Amino acid sequence: MKAAVLTRTAGVASRPLEIREVRDPVPAPGQILLRVRACGMCRTDLHIVEGELKPLRDRVIPGHQIVGEAPDGARFGVTWMGGVDGTCEYCHRGEENLCDVPVFTGYSVDGGYAEFTVAGSDFAIPLPAGLTDLEIAPLLCAGVIGFRSLRVAGVQRGERVGLFGFGASAHLALPVLRAWGCRVYVCTRGSAHRKLAEWLGADWVGAERDRPPTPLDRAITFAPSGNVVIAALASLRKGGVVAINAIHLDHIPEFDYDSLLWGERQIRSVANVTRADARDFLELASEIGLRPKVTVFRLEQANEALLAMKNDAIDGAAVLVP
């Protein structure tokens, strides 16, 4: 099969992914073989390819938002959570997203930048019929983790919620917030992102350094920047929560406890997703007709697509089609 293979991490401008023929994957017991129909691209892929997330293997095929077809024709989704041990303290607590020995699709095992992949049967999620392959792919990471971020931030119906940064994940969280009757405030750099936020019905849209006009109940940060976390914190009411939706952050600058965190404000991180998050979100997405804005790339264009993502040159989500 054809695949985009990473053997040496490097800046995406140097085209580190090799597009080449590799042996077809063979499912082990408890796994299923999937023909990849579409695979979403994610900032985490960029961190893997560029080495900000340290390599776990000599060679890996990235991609963890896989819409695949089983040999019997059934359609499944595969997310970043490729499996858990089922035995650790966190698995027993029902917090499988925190599992001590997780399997990460497209990082600790091969993912979906390929014509075929294998997945754990338990972690292949049956997909709702109402949405197309291209519509579902970005939902499987950007969408699900955006949804989990809303849960981690404790968003209640009708609240004032800030989205700091407006890429693939935030643009999928916004329609969910609107469906819940929330007022949505978006701070983001790039006029294209601001236009998209307005078009999707944000109540207020500002630039990176602007502050929402009213204190927020919840804020979710999507940029890999500690400065953005502080900006979000500075926008909260007392008792408000910032949820950080970033697997990697540059650094969090020193900040003033008395004015920014006192008053029972909270900062929380969002780590991975559970299968329940994925199922609940996909159900809601099909219910509210969540149709992500998508830019399609061929498998051969994987490097170019990652570079465009790095440069914030893509509206909404990038999807690879083998």
Q: What is the dihedral of CA 19, 24, 28, 33, to 10 degrees?
A: 90
> Which is nearer to Zn ion, 141 or 200 (by Cβ)?
141
User: Minimum distance from CB of 168 to Zn ion (Å)?
Assistant: 9
Q: What is the dihedral of CA 117, 122, 124, 130, to 10 degrees?
A: 160
User: Minimum distance from CB of 141 to Zn ion (Å)?
Assistant: 3
> Which is nearer to Zn ion, 230 or 285 (by Cβ)?
285
User: Minimum distance from CB of 57 to Zn ion (Å)?
Assistant: 18
User: Minimum distance from CB of 104 to Zn ion (Å)?
Assistant: 10
- Interacting residues toward Zn ion by CB under 5 A: 42, 44, 84-85, 88, 91, 99, 141
Task: Count CB neighbours of 249 within 10 A.
Answer: 16
Task: State the burial class of residue 258 (Cβ atoms within 10 Å of its Cβ: 0-12, 13-18, 19+).
Answer: exposed
> Which is nearer to Zn ion, 203 or 277 (by Cβ)?
277
CA distance 208 to 191: 10
User: Minimum distance from CB of 274 to Zn ion (Å)?
Assistant: 12
Q: What does 184-203 look like in DSSP terms, one character per residue?
A: EEEE-SSHHHHHHHHHTT-S
The two beta strands, 183-187 and 204-206, are parallel
User: Minimum distance from CB of 113 to Zn ion (Å)?
Assistant: 13
> Which is nearer to Zn ion, 230 or 317 (by Cβ)?
317
> Which is nearer to Zn ion, 88 or 234 (by Cβ)?
88
Strand-pairing partners, residue 109, are: 105
CA distance 164 to 194: 11
> Which is nearer to Zn ion, 99 or 202 (by Cβ)?
99
Q: Would you mind telling me the total number of residues written for the chain in this entry?
A: 322
